Structure 1
């Protein structure tokens, strides 16, 4: 085993490529978390979006239309969650788990009934999200291996992280959504419509979750496989906790998942047992949650200590 074959320029792209669908999922969860809503249904929204993107791309020959319909599908599911939680006061975690189970069932049913397939659907008629090739980068091997031939949605996720950071921390809407999440009664007293803000947060998260699924099935691959999200939605929620729902820190947590998965895939070529390789992302999830919870507890303890000292 030579480290130069494992740790090289292509590992950077491999890490980012693997992390991208998780970043989308994490941003989906981060948007609602800013409004103090835990979006456990991220996995289901993502899976439904992945199916709709492939189905529409196959039937229409348009990847853009596939992405758009996937986002609208994510929006519809998110609004079901919103109405159930905000209008009928149902527990958000129970709704999220219900959405996840519904997505597994409905995508399997539609795959059989609509596309006449089972298990996996791949076809040359599926139009994948285009890759961006920059000729100028060909002259420098490192830049070519690292940044060339990214899909449009891989470039867009970087922009989305920056946009969400700006919206959350530099706009009035972001201030209001954070106020609703931290102290809803005070926000209501200040004249902010709490329910309206929460509806908006869930709706936007549904659009991002649908985009996450579209990228997974049309950008990361060009097919649909039953339950193809493979817990990426839950990894996104874990990364969101790690980053404190801050878009940039959340994305960094997702890159850790991508790094462990990419390293694992390379180690498998050198005889490392596949069971260990498949286990690595889940171990990383537990580690991320443990670190984030320990950090949060330490910060709370420090804050209490400072308050006692000040008193």
Structure 2
């Protein structure tokens, strides 16, 4: 079995467990292949946590969960120095951030100083405590969930932290047909009649898949399309229509890197050996929506970030 076939089996297994969320599953696998982090937003009960837990069962990994609450401390995330009275020394006790797949559940329910504890880990793949730097595992993926900001008891994430997520995924309610399938699946699980689980995928397969993704060819024309999209978010006044009235601040260079990495992963999943404009368009909403800052005019009019990305894709045409 080749590497891509193994990843597609994981995809199929996730879709059979997380019903009606095919796009969410695809985005999570793209993040795994592109070695980036994901933030999922949706109302409670829309299978955000289930998606992450399912992935942890299908990939050989140490799974850890951080339940973000208003009283959480930074040391509860990173770990801390513990004094050992027997030998009179301090010993570092690692926190849950040292897992392979880290579920940051309801990340926007903790104040900014706790959210900031994730910044170094997500970007540098290391944690510094009491002046000592501790490397994180080679397979390290933060999959964060958050409820919509309008929900009571939530805090908006700092802009610097949002920028560190490779992808933003909106998780919507399933339709009526999928809702019925969910009922049948839960009944089967409770009665012990659920399908046989797939053997966990080796981390070596994931690393091999990442090498193949990195080898996907990106032509100069595709690179130009990526750069033109990012440039349009920074210079919307060059375009006619609503963009100049909607975008206050555009995407950072991390957005450019994210769009390139996610497009290559998407192309690889489709069985291609090159990136096409269709791959770039497919991942653009997830890569760019959370990196755009809207004008007060757009927010007052109820314009959403995905709507802005959609307008962006209509205005910027690949060569």
Q: TM-score range by the shorter chain?
A: under 0.3
Q: Which has the higher strand share?
A: 2
Q: Which has the higher contact order (CA 8 A, sep 6+)?
A: 1
TM-score for both structures, normalised by structure 2: 0.25
